Amino acid sequence: MPRDQGARLALTQRQAAAILLLPFLAVYGVFLVYPFFKGVWISLHDWNLMAVAFNPDAKTYVGLRNYERVMWGQNITWGALANPGFQIVGFLGVVASYLLYRTGRAARVTALAMGIAGLLLFVLPGFHPGEGGRWFDRRFWPTVGNTILFVGLAVPGVTITAMLLAAALDGETRAKAVLRTLFFLSQVLSVTVVTLIWQIMFSPRQGLIANLTTLFGGSPIVWLTAEGFAMAAIVIATIWWSLGIAMILFLAGLQDISRDLYEAGALDNATGAKAFWYITLPNLKRTITVVVVLQIILHFQVFGQAHLMTGGGPNDTTQVLVRYIYQTAFRDSELGRASAMAVFLFVIMGAFSILQFVLGREKDE
């Protein structure tokens, strides 16, 4: 390179990179990396929000005590059928993942993830207080259970509805595009608008659903304060809200299925529902996994629906993990314990994020 040109390139590549990277790295370091480690640090302390705000030395290092106080108890024992609901599902999950893997119906990552999830679901709910024992925090595990139940209802609900809609609405016509827009629209609303709408929809006195029931001579259900119905109500609102992304992902997945397959299928009389079952479904396996993992990550962080529609009630049946963290930190001022729960949340989310990343990689290869 001639000298005069070299002089005009005032900045070397390294200097330019430093200038361009610095703004992001500074913000990233201060507002994400540092808070993350500070969160772990807080979780190792007895840290009262009010006390520390007035006197920064009012915190004491307690090691892993917060984790113990949140997750453990006195005289905890383990039984294979202590909590049969979750444990049987977990056990079946392990068996199913093994069978799916052996028969080659699921990829290794999928089977492994399913197996681990099943194993956890079998092992963890088996712990329970033995004779004379008790949990130190009797609300934590039920809260985790509610969160898993919510995920277990919302994810299949969203996935199946979205898949059927995508299969029906796949196509270039104008009518289909309009229908897709209508189904996607609720996705852009904020959680507070969604809960506003559904709170009044479910209201026993003014709600549209109650109005319909009375029209047909029934008596209205007190959705949001009746045990069992409250969870159903927030699941319904959630499915209505978050169907859009899943539907779009399925539409993208459908584009990758070759038209030739359907033409070949039509020769064998496979059209309509038959074609969906024998051609569409097997070829959507990867998309289904991606959508399911994505939805698990999304819905495990549920907060607004439970906070605004049911307030965690009735009788704690819709209390979810993020809401419990929020209350422990900002109502009870127990930042140490709340941070321990936040770390627990991070570990679960992290596992699914890694799975999501691995799945994303598989597609690129």
Site for other proteins in 304-343 (CB under 8 A): 304, 308, 322, 325-326, 329-330, 335, 338-339, 342-343
Q: What HEC string does 57-87 produce?
A: CCCEECCCHHHHHHHCEEEEEECCCCCHHHH
Q: What are phi and psi of 314, to 5 degrees?
A: -75, 145
Residue from 144, 233, 290, 296 touching other proteins (CB under 8 A): that is: 290
Q: Which is nearer to other proteins, 186 or 283 (CB)?
A: 186
Residue from 96, 100, 257, 349 touching other proteins (CB under 8 A): that is: 349
Q: Which is nearer to other proteins, 87 or 310 (CB)?
A: 310
Residue from 95, 160, 193, 273 touching other proteins (CB under 8 A): that is: 193
Name which of residues 100 to 119 contact other proteins (CB under 8 A). none
Q: Compute the least distance from the CB of residue 81 to other proteins, in Å.
A: 33
Q: Which is nearer to other proteins, 137 or 334 (CB)?
A: 334
Establish if 99 lies at the interface with other proteins (CB under 8 A): no
Q: Which is nearer to other proteins, 72 or 303 (CB)?
A: 303
Q: 114-128 burial, b if ≥16 CB within 10 A, otherwise e?
A: bbebbebbbebbbbb
Establish if 252 lies at the interface with other proteins (CB under 8 A): yes
Establish if 25 lies at the interface with other proteins (CB under 8 A): yes
Task: Give the angle 274-276-281 at the CA atoms, nearest 5°.
Answer: 125
Q: Which is nearer to other proteins, 89 or 245 (CB)?
A: 245
Beta bridge partners of 41: none
**DSSP SS3 for 132:** strand
Establish if 175 lies at the interface with other proteins (CB under 8 A): yes
Q: Which is nearer to other proteins, 11 or 81 (CB)?
A: 11
Q: Compute the least distance from the CB of residue 206 to other proteins, in Å.
A: 4
Establish if 292 lies at the interface with other proteins (CB under 8 A): no
What is the torsional sign of CA 327, 328, 332, 335? Answer: negative
Binding mask 4-23 for other proteins (x = CB under 8 A): -x--xxxx-xx-xxxxxx-x
Distance CA 313, CA 323 (A): 12
Q: Which stretch binds other proteins (CB under 8 A): 111-119, 151-159, 225-233, 293-301?
A: 293-301
Q: Which is nearer to other proteins, 175 or 267 (CB)?
A: 175
Residue 40, amino acid: V
Count of positions on this chain that bind other proteins (CB under 8 A): 97
Distance CA 33, CA 16 (A): 24
Q: DSSP secondary structure string, 273-287?
A: HHHIIIIIHHHTHHH
Q: Which two tokens stand for residue 273?
A: 């529902």
Establish if 189 lies at the interface with other proteins (CB under 8 A): yes
Helices 191-201, 208-215: inter-axial angle, 10-degree rounding:
20
Establish if 275 lies at the interface with other proteins (CB under 8 A): no
Binding mask 35-64 for other proteins (x = CB under 8 A): xx-xx-xx------x--xx-----------
Residue 345, amino acid: L
End-to-end alpha carbon distance in the chain: 39
CA neighbours closer than 13 Å in the CB half-sphere of residue 348: 19
